[in-house]
Amino acid sequence: MFNAYYNAKLLLTGEYLVLNGATALAVPLKFGQRLQVIENNSGVISWHSIASDGSVWFSGKYAFSDFSIIESSNAAIAVHPQKLMLVAKKLNPSFCSNSYGCSVISTLNYPLLWGLGSSSTLIAAVAGWAGIDPFTLHFSVSKGSGYDIACAINNGPLLYSVHENEPTIQPVRFSPTFTDKIYFVYQGSKKDSAEGINQYRSRNSVPDTATIEKANLLTAQMLNASSLTDFEACMVEHEQLISNLIGVPTIKQRIFNDLPGEVKSLGAWGGDFCMLTWNDDPKLISSYLKSKGLETWFNLNDIVL
């Protein structure tokens, strides 16, 4: 009935400020989520979420009539697919109307805790299953900017901005000559994106035009940097811009004060992945990161589509 794959993502620039209309640089990854829907005559929607190691991390059954939860392995998690299906039905009343039962299998090819977009890829997947616009579904259930939806359905780096829930997506070439020196490092704790967005939106102040324009300039400069030195200068300036905006010390101050390179937070600060450059012997990065208690990292070339 339905079988499609959607890309995970990383936001390289414009974190937080993309919510205020800034243009952000985002990259779809070689990781992602597949959704398969197989028709049967069971009379229910049987849902199984499969982890990268093949284990079932969530299972549930939903009624066709109203998507009510019949049973589940986790009541809190069960609400998310239910909400997506309910909204999808409102947006497309014919969704599931001619079915007599189905098995839904969502499969991640990376660890769930990495926080690379398991929620956004599921939104895009349910939208595909329901035959509706993924951004419409996203903005109906989330306060996020939607850049992750853009990554889910595009197969290359892109510039993303959104105004009044109308996204603008510009595919770009992002392939610096120094990509061998750019790494993405998992910090070991998944950050709740929705929580980070809510905290940011609850602030009393809105970024001024100058801050947005500065972020846009840094995005353009980072995208077009011709040397590692220029790229690193943009990283430092962008990191300080967001640090000043949200009142949180930079990640270099907190963790990487002795890094032979530069480092920039990605997405909601405090978890998931960061981006760093390495100007020392490549053979030494493993021991350096392990000395910080960090075990998972990738070179840009290994994970960016």
Quick: pLDDT tens for 62-77.
Answer: 998 899 999 999 999 9
Residues 22 and 118 in one domain: yes
Average pLDDT over every residue of 252-259? 94
Is residue 122 within 8 Å of residue 35, measured between CB atoms?
yes
Residues 15 and 129 in one domain: yes
Q: What pLDDT score does 204 carry? A: 59
Final residue belonging to a domain, choices 148, 171, 194: 171
State which H helix or E strand residue 217 sits in: helix 209-224
Final residue belonging to a domain, choices 107, 139, 171: 171
Residues 185 and 152 in one domain: no
| pLDDT band at 271; cut points 50, 70, 90 | low
Is the pLDDT confidence value at 224 over 60? yes
Could you give the count of Cα atoms lying within 13 Å of 39 in the half-sphere of its Cβ? 8
Residues 247 and 107 in one domain: no
Q: What is the pLDDT of residues 130-183, one digit of tens each?
A: 999 999 999 999 999 999 999 999 999 999 999 999 999 999 999 999 999 999
Is residue 146 within 8 Å of residue 164, measured between CB atoms?
no
Going by their DSSP bridges, the two strands 44-50 and 102-108 should be labelled as parallel
Residues 120 and 39 in one domain: yes
Q: Which range marks the domain in which residue 279 is found?
A: 179-303
Which tokens hold the place of 79?
Answer: 């609400």
Least confident of 24-38, 143-157, 235-249, 261-275: 261-275
Is the pLDDT confidence value at 127 over 80? yes
C-alpha 71 chain-centroid distance: 29
Residues 185 and 210 in one domain: yes
| pLDDT band at 193; cut points 50, 70, 90 | low
Residue 86 to residue 93: CA distance in whole angstroms = 10
Mean pLDDT of the chain: 94
Average pLDDT over every residue of 54-67? 95
Q: What pLDDT score does 199 carry? A: 72
| pLDDT band at 194; cut points 50, 70, 90 | low
Q: What is the pLDDT of residues 205-222, one digit of tens each?
A: 788 899 999 999 999 999
Residues 235 and 294 in one domain: yes
Q: What pLDDT score does 188 carry? A: 79
Count the domains in the chain. 2
Closest by CA to 82, choosing from 133, 50, 44, 38, is 44
Closest by CA to 121, choosing from 48, 44, 210, 35, is 35
Q: What pLDDT score does 272 carry? A: 86
Residues 164 and 223 in one domain: no
Final residue belonging to a domain, choices 152, 171, 190: 171
Average pLDDT over every residue of 29-43? 96
Residues 245 and 136 in one domain: no
Q: What pLDDT score does 2 carry? A: 96
Average pLDDT over every residue of 88-108? 95
Residues 115 and 34 in one domain: yes
First to last CA, the chain: 27
Which tokens hold the place of 134?
Answer: 């993924």
| pLDDT band at 189; cut points 50, 70, 90 | low
Is residue 101 within 8 Å of residue 41, measured between CB atoms?
yes
Closest by CA to 37, choosing from 48, 52, 53, 51, is 48
Residues 57 and 108 in one domain: yes
Q: What is the DSSP letter of 94?
A: T
Give me the CATH number covering residue 223. 3.30.70.890
Position of tokens 């199984």? 48
Is the pLDDT confidence value at 236 over 80? yes
Average pLDDT over every residue of 35-49? 96
Is the pLDDT confidence value at 9 over 90? yes
Is residue 241 within 8 Å of residue 217, measured between CB atoms?
no
Give me the CATH number covering residue 110. 3.30.230.10
Going by their DSSP bridges, the two strands 69-72 and 56-63 should be labelled as antiparallel
Residues 255 and 276 in one domain: yes
Q: What is the DSSP letter of 304?
A: B
Angle, vertex CA 288, rays to CA 256 and CA 237, nearest 5: 30
